[in-house]
């Protein structure tokens, strides 16, 4: 059986060619649209990468899908992003960070936007930052296909928060300082009033005691020691009142000083002579190596009082038959005297209390006499003269006090 040829008329042939042309044109349009789409996506990708603020693309669960360069640097992320899901909440810190983050995600998905203000961040490189996190819902089919549901932008607040905290700390410090000054002034005024009120009857007691001493022969022999006790106790109380007044004057800046060029060796020798009798009673020797330190800018009388007190303490708290070493030194700005004993020493935990008024660090239970004001007065004197009084001590081996004062040739600059 012979096949018959299929005959296509001219109209059918034209329709086929027309359909082919339309199909080719449609395919060309699709290629152009695809090229335009790819170009637009590339442009948006480059724009996303070049944004000057940290921006992240997140899934509905808050997983990081993509991050621009600024976000990678800000959050200390690796590039490319790790294959394992990176949950943004892992970078949030704070007691209620998880609850705040879950609430923000829910609001962004339902309402369309949410903000976490001043959220603390703990980054992979160990830095701590504070940022405002802004979430926006993405309503786009293409984004949904890529797993993107939210766009997240970060606004750094670290410097602003730190500046605010620093300002708050400064204000609190100033408030504490004002409170301290107010309390100090109130204490100084109270002590001053009490001291002046005590001095009046004490002067009367001392005066009548002197009158009785002038007529001592008429007193019964058994009563004469009582009169001596009255005079001794009265003198001690008057001395204590004067010490309290000196502390007040020094701390309030009301003490008048005669600032001159002072040779420290001269004041040391004078203080040694005034303490020599007390030292000989305990068989304590003085070991001096003073040289010729530069003159200091100070009140000579107050310097001598400080040295007398330091030497007296070194003797009282030293060992029977021990020694007290006196050394001098200086640097570019100060000259100093060291007073070192080999006595009982001071426990490290007690050193911060050493210069507190009336605090004898437990020595009030010993036979060593004192009121616990000497070192406090000395420190006030020294600081008023622009110097410093410091100590180092080892229990059982002794203490070393250092009196440092500004050099006369440098202190006025």
Q: Based on the fold, state whether residues 119 and 64 are members of the same structural domain.
A: yes
Nearest to 92 by CA among 68, 64, 113: 64
Q: Based on the fold, state whether residues 129 and 219 are members of the same structural domain.
A: no
Determine how β-strand 323-330 pairs with β-strand 285-289.
parallel
SS3 6: coil
Instruction: Decide: 383 and 302 in contact? Cβ < 8 Å.
Output: no
CATH number at residue 113: 3.30.450.20
More confident residue, 195 or 111: 111
CATH number at residue 393: 3.30.565.10
Asked, for residue 40, whether it belongs to a domain, the answer is: no
More confident residue, 75 or 47: 75
pLDDT in tens, 245-304: 766 666 666 677 889 999 999 999 989 998 888 889 899 999 998 888 899 999 898 899
Residue partners of 173: CB distance under 8 A and separation at least 6: none
Determine how β-strand 323-330 pairs with β-strand 334-341.
antiparallel
118 phi and psi, to 5 degrees?
A: 55, 55
Which of the four pLDDT bands, split at 50, 70 and 90, describes residue 112? very high
Q: Based on the fold, state whether residues 242 and 311 are members of the same structural domain.
A: no
pLDDT of 171 reads: 93
Instruction: Decide: 231 and 217 in contact? Cβ < 8 Å.
Output: no
Tell me which of 251, 284, 313 is where a domain ends.
251
Q: How far apart are CA 262 and CA 332, in angstroms?
A: 17
Which of the four pLDDT bands, split at 50, 70 and 90, describes residue 392? very high
Instruction: Decide: 130 and 122 in contact? Cβ < 8 Å.
Output: no
Helix axes of 300-316 and 374-384: crossing angle, nearest 10 degrees? 150
Tell me which of 234, 251, 268 is where a domain ends.
251
Q: How far is CA 72 from the centre of its chain?
A: 34
Rg of the chain taking only CA atoms, in angstroms = 44
Asked, for residue 20, whether it belongs to a domain, the answer is: no
Q: How far apart are CA 247 and CA 236, in angstroms?
A: 17
- Domain range for residue 372? 259-411
pLDDT of 413 reads: 42
77 half-sphere exposure, CB direction, 13 A CA radius: 27
Instruction: Decide: 193 and 199 in contact? Cβ < 8 Å.
Output: no
Asked, for residue 232, whether it belongs to a domain, the answer is: yes
Q: Based on the fold, state whether residues 243 and 286 are members of the same structural domain.
A: no
Q: Based on the fold, state whether residues 294 and 401 are members of the same structural domain.
A: yes
SS3 326: strand
Tell me which of 233, 251, 269 is where a domain ends.
251
Asked, for residue 389, whether it belongs to a domain, the answer is: yes
Nearest to 151 by CA among 126, 134, 170, 127: 134
Which of the four pLDDT bands, split at 50, 70 and 90, describes residue 305? confident
Q: Which two tokens stand for residue 303?
A: 């310097």
Does residue 357 register a pLDDT over 80? no
Q: Based on the fold, state whether residues 246 and 263 are members of the same structural domain.
A: no
Query: Secondary structure of 347-378 in the HEC alphabet?
Result: CHHHHHHCCCCCCCCCHHHCCCCCCCCHHHHH
Helix axes of 158-214 and 224-251: crossing angle, nearest 10 degrees? 150
Instruction: Decide: 329 and 402 in contact? Cβ < 8 Å.
Output: no
Overall number of domains in the chain: 3
pLDDT of 11 reads: 64
CATH number at residue 194: 1.10.287
Q: Based on the fold, state whether residues 309 and 362 are members of the same structural domain.
A: yes
Q: Based on the fold, state whether residues 340 and 267 are members of the same structural domain.
A: yes
Does residue 397 register a pLDDT over 60? yes
Q: Based on the fold, state whether residues 264 and 246 are members of the same structural domain.
A: no
Asked, for residue 145, whether it belongs to a domain, the answer is: yes
Peptide bond into 254 cis (omega under 30): no
Instruction: Decide: 285 and 260 in contact? Cβ < 8 Å.
Output: no
Q: Which two tokens stand for residue 363?
A: 């020595």
Task: Choose the most confident range, by mean pLDDT, from 127-141, 210-224, 240-254.
Answer: 127-141
Asked, for residue 372, whether it belongs to a domain, the answer is: yes
Q: Work out the mean pLDDT of the chain and round it to a whole number.
A: 82
Asked, for residue 36, whether it belongs to a domain, the answer is: no
Asked, for residue 209, whether it belongs to a domain, the answer is: yes
328 phi and psi, to 5 degrees?
A: -120, 160
Q: Which two tokens stand for residue 64?
A: 């990081």
End-to-end CA distance of the chain: 130
For the stretch 116-119, contacts whose Cβ atoms lie closer than 8 Å and that sit 24 or more positions apart, written own/partner, are: 118/157, 118/161, 119/92, 119/94
Q: How far apart are CA 327 and CA 293, in angstroms?
A: 10
Q: How far apart are CA 340 and CA 398, in angstroms?
A: 7
Q: How far apart are CA 285 and CA 272, in angstroms?
A: 10
Q: Based on the fold, state whether residues 383 and 327 are members of the same structural domain.
A: yes
Q: How far is CA 36 from the centre of its chain?
A: 61
pLDDT in tens, 78-111: 877 777 778 888 889 888 899 999 999 999 999 9
53 half-sphere exposure, CB direction, 13 A CA radius: 12
Q: Find the mean pLDDT for residues 57-70.
A: 89
Task: Choose the most confident range, by mean pLDDT, from 143-147, 185-189, 392-396.
Answer: 392-396
Q: Based on the fold, state whether residues 395 and 275 are members of the same structural domain.
A: yes
262 burial class (0-12, 13-18, 19+ CB within 10 angstroms)?
buried
Instruction: Decide: 379 and 356 in contact? Cβ < 8 Å.
Output: no
Q: Which two tokens stand for residue 206?
A: 């001392």
Q: Based on the fold, state whether residues 185 and 301 are members of the same structural domain.
A: no
């Amino acid at each position: 059986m012979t096949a018959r040829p299929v005959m296509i008329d001219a109209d059918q042939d034209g329709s086929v060619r027309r359909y082919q042309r339309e199909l080719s044109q449609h395919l060309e349009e699709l290629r152009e649209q695809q090229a335009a789409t790819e170009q637009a996506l590339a442009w948006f990708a480059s724009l996303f990468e070049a944004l000057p603020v940290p921006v992240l693309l997140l899934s509905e669960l808050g997983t990081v899908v993509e991050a621009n360069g600024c976000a990678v640097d800000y959050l200390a992320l690796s590039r490319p992003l790790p294959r394992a899901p990176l949950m943004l909440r892992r970078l949030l810190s704070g007691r209620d960070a998880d609850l705040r983050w879950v609430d923000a995600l829910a609001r962004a998905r339902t309402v369309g936007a949410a903000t976490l203000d001043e959220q603390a961040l703990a980054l992979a490189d160990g830095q701590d930052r504070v940022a405002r996190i802004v979430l926006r819902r993405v309503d786009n089919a293409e984004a949904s296909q890529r797993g993107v549901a939210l766009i997240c932008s970060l606004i750094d607040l670290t410097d602003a928060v730190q500046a605010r905290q620093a300002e708050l700390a400064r204000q609190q410090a100033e408030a504490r300082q004002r409170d301290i000054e107010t309390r100090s002034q109130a204490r100084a005024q109270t002590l001053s009033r009490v001291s002046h009120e005590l001095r009046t009857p004490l002067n009367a007691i001392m005066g009548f005691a002197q009158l009785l001493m002038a007529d001592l022969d008429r007193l019964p022999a058994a009563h004469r020691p009582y009169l001596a006790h009255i005079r001794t106790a009265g003198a001690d109380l008057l001395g204590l009142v004067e010490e309290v007044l000196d502390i007040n004057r020094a701390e309030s800046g009301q003490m008048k000083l005669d600032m001159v060029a002072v040779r420290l060796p001269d004041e040391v020798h004078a203080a040694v002579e005034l303490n020599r009798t007390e030292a000989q009673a305990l068989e304590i020797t003085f070991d001096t190596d003073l040289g010729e330190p530069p003159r200091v800018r100070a009140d000579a009388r107050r310097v001598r009082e400080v040295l007398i007190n330091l030497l007296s303490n070194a003797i009282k708290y030293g060992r029977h038959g021990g020694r007290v070493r006196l050394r001098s030194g200086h640097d570019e700005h100060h000259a100093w005297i060291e007073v070192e004993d080999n006595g009982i020493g001071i426990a490290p935990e007690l050193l911060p209390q050493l210069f507190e008024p009336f605090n004898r660090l437990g020595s009030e239970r010993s036979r060593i006499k004192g009121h616990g004001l000497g070192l406090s007065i000395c420190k006030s004197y020294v600081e008023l003269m622009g110097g410093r009084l410091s100590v180092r001590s080892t229990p059982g081996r002794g203490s070393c006090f250092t009196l440092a004062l500004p050099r006369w040739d440098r202190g006025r600059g």
